[in-house]
Amino acid sequence: MEESEKKYFLGFSAFPGIGPHRFKLLLDYFGSAEKAWNGDKDTFLSVGLSKKLVDQFVEFRRNFSPKDYQSELIKKDITTLTIHDKLYPKLLKEIHDPPIILYIRGDVQRLTEMRVCIAVVGTRKMSTYGQTVTEKITQGLSQNGCTIVSGLAYGIDTVAHKTAIENSGWTIAVLGCGVDIIHPVTNTTLYWRIVKESGVVVSEYPPGRYAEKGTFPARNRIISGLSLAVVVTEGAENSGSLITAGFAAEQGREVFAVPGPINTINSQGPLKLMKDGAYVTTSAEDILTQLRISFHPQVMGKKGSEDAVEQKILELLSYEQLLFDTLVQRMGIPASKIAEVLTRMELNGAVKNENGVYQLT
């Protein structure tokens, strides 16, 4: 997207009264964000905006400079992606109301390495059992190259992010506030570990925006929207994690629930999901098998293999069988080097070659 157009996307995103639905109405009517930004009151009213909202926007527009706002984001080391940018996550584009803008802290290029995203969510008031099963499942997913998506909240979310990092995996934290606001503050160290080395922190809300009652459910649709599947490890029947699971079902994503003691409050959420048709899971292997992703624990995350070439081959072959020439094309390194590593991997029993087609053993 051209920067001249992007700055108006940013302008609408910064105005609290226009969310994804209204912004889409304006884009469809005006044809571009720039034209919509410069629209007159009567046209806004004809599109369906209320007079109060139009008056508020006109006042906001008068005192707001999209160009200065863009410069301020750069100073705060915040990257932005519009839905038209190439790096905008493809799965998120598919949901009913994708965010106008994603505000991101962390190296945005990491998104290109996050091939399979799976959300792991649950209660803030976790039990020892909930912590144990979350660690077990997240560890298995991370060791198989999956990116763990969660909400940086107390409890299950925190354990999911930490376990991904401890197993050399990528993780995405989706916030219900601006990306410059660390909530809860007790996760400050975790927040900066994600930003600096292990993933990205994402929000649809502009910097400085504090969380409100309605921002967390909206955040939850992004958690599920980024993910192939949502795993609820523990939570009460009214847990916010069930909202995330509900969004996942609406978005056509798989929902998994971990069974627990039937006499505990934190088992009631997963139990309800199971009654509603969620898959029962007790391991990462269950989840990957249902998603038709090969289960190979030796496939680590971003830094699990000492040999970067071998790591990349394992990663590619975990999704499908490939011809040698296809591997060369996708990896972009000399064929002789790939052949050398493949030979070593065959001798070690990590891969096999059947009629020129390589696959994991």
Q: Which of 336, 342, 344, 345 is nearest to 356 (CA)?
A: 342
pLDDT value for 303: 45
Q: In the CATH scheme, what architecture does the domain 3-64 have? A: Orthogonal Bundle (1.10)
> What does the alpha-carbon distance between residue 182 and residue 239 come to, in Å, rounded to a whole number?
22
pLDDT value for 292: 87
Q: Can you list the alpha helix ranges (DSSP code H) found in 194-283?
A: 215-225, 240-250, 268-275
Helices (H) and strands (E) in the chain, counts: 17, 12
pLDDT value for 297: 60
Q: Where in the chain is the domain with CATH 1.10.150?
A: 3-64
What DSSP string describes 72-103? HHHHTT-EEEETTSTTS-HHHHTSSS--SEEE
Low-confidence stretches of the chain (pLDDT beneath 70): 1, 295-307
Q: Are 96 and 250 in contact (CB under 8 A)?
A: yes
- pTM for the complete prediction? 0.81
> What does the alpha-carbon distance between residue 130 and residue 355 come to, in Å, rounded to a whole number?
46
Q: Are 291 and 309 in contact (CB under 8 A)?
A: no
Is residue 293 classed exposed, middle or buried when 0-12, 13-18 and 19+ CB atoms within 10 A define those classes? buried
Strand 351-354: give its sheet, edge to edge: 322-323, 357-360, 351-354
Q: Which of 273, 262, 260, 284 is nearest to 131 (CA)?
A: 260
Tokens at residue 290, please?
């249902």
> What does the alpha-carbon distance between residue 104 and residue 40 come to, in Å, rounded to a whole number?
32
Distances in whole angstroms, Cα of residue 224 to Cα of each of 163, 284, 341: 19, 18, 37
pLDDT value for 117: 96
Which strand (E) or helix (H) includes residue 341?
A: helix 335-347
pLDDT value for 301: 47
**What is the per-residue pLDDT across 294-309, written as a single tens digit (0 to 9) for each?**
766 644 445 443 367 8
Domain 104-290 falls in which CATH fold? Rossmann fold (3.40.50)
Domain 308-360 falls in which CATH fold? Arc Repressor Mutant, subunit A (1.10.10)
> What does the alpha-carbon distance between residue 287 and residue 118 come to, in Å, rounded to a whole number?
9
Q: Are 226 and 117 in contact (CB under 8 A)?
A: yes
Q: Where in the chain is the domain with CATH 1.10.10.10?
A: 308-360
pLDDT value for 313: 86
Q: Are 127 and 155 in contact (CB under 8 A)?
A: no
Cis peptide before 99 (omega within 30 of 0): no
What DSSP string describes 146-188? EEEEE---TTHHHHHHHHHHHTT--EEEE-SS-TTS-SSGGGH
> What does the alpha-carbon distance between residue 204 and residue 7 come to, in Å, rounded to a whole number?
15
